[in-house]
């Protein structure tokens, strides 16, 4: 009798243990699935890239070969025109201003280098409306001032030199209006005043009426 009841109790306990084990296994499986699901749904979001602002345009650079024309005061010649480095610029009497034309080529241009006009000219103390260009025989561009082609003089070795003034009686430093330095009003070279003519002797009475 006691043996039978003990066997039944063992069976009940065994069944309870199996049920408890199954319950624990089920809970573990459920928890694991939940954890797995959570990790799967997690994603890393990337913030949208901020569009880069357009590059600001740089400041315009000066044109290559740009030339500066400016004025300087010479103790003998007065106000003259120089290039940006301070070297005197000259004009040539055998050139023409209307229309502008340079007649200094070959060896002449070696001694009297043309003022180049490769870019826009900057002026200081000069009316910009007087500045222009002329196409030389070799196709290059030369600066003009009031129509007159402008030149340097090779023997001028330092700024302020005016060794080309009056060379051959046909080369003169330029004035701000395109005239010849050292000449009245920047025009022609000064001429030697002629001696006053001797006064005429008064005519004899009656000579105006047929006289002799």
Q: What is the mean pLDDT of the chain?
A: 73
pLDDT for res 15: 52
Mean pLDDT, to the nearest integer, of 124-148? 96
20 part of a folded domain: no
Residues 102-108 have a mean pLDDT of 97
Q: 3-class DSSP state for residue 116?
A: strand
Confidence of residue 10 (pLDDT cuts 50, 70, 90): low
Q: Which of 62-66, 169-173, 184-188, 199-203 has the highest mean pLDDT?
A: 169-173
- Least confident stretch, 35-44, 54-63, 144-153: 54-63
Name which of 80, 98, 96 is nearest 88 in CA terms.
80
Flag whether 135 is in a domain: yes
Structure token digits, residue 104: 């200094």
pLDDT confidence of residue 129:
95
**Number of structural domains in the chain:** 1
Residue 12 has pLDDT above 70, yes or no: no
Q: Which of 57-61, 88-92, 180-184 has the highest mean pLDDT?
A: 88-92
Structural domain range at position 154:
67-181
Q: Is residue 165 assigned to a domain?
A: yes
- Any residues with CB less than 8 A from the CB of 152 and at least 6 apart, and which? 83, 87, 88, 89, 90, 112, 113, 114, 115
CA separation for the pair 88, 79 (Å, rounded): 11
Domain annotation covers residue 76: yes
Q: What is the pTM of this model?
A: 0.59
CB 190 within 8 A of CB 130: no
Assigned domain for 156 exists: yes
**Assigned domain for 94 exists:** yes
For residue 26, is it within any domain? no
- The answer to whether position 1 is within a domain reads no
């Amino acid at each position: 009798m006691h043996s039978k009841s003990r066997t039944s109790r063992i069976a009940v306990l065994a069944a309870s243990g199996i049920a408890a084990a199954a319950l624990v296994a089920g809970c573990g499986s459920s928890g694991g699935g939940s954890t797995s699901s959570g990790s799967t749904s997690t994603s890393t979001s990337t913030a949208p890239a901020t569009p880069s602002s357009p590059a600001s345009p740089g400041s315009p650079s000066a044109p290559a070969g740009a030339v500066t024309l400016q004025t300087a005061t010479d103790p003998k010649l007065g106000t003259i025109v120089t290039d940006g480095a301070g070297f005197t610029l000259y004009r040539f009497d055998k050139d023409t201003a209307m229309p502008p034309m340079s007649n200094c080529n070959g060896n002449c241009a070696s001694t009297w280098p043309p003022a180049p006009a490769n870019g826009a000219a900057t002026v200081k103390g000069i009316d910009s409306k007087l500045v222009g260009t002329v196409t030389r025989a070799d196709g290059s561009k030369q600066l003009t001032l009031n129509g007159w082609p402008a030149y340097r003089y090779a023997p001028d070795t330092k700024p302020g030199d005016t060794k080309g003034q009056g060379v051959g009686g046909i080369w003169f430093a330029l004035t701000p209006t395109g005239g010849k330095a050292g000449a009245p009003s920047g025009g022609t070279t000064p001429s030697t005043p002629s001696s006053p003519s001797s006064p005429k002797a008064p005519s004899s009475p009656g000579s105006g009426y047929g006289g002799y």
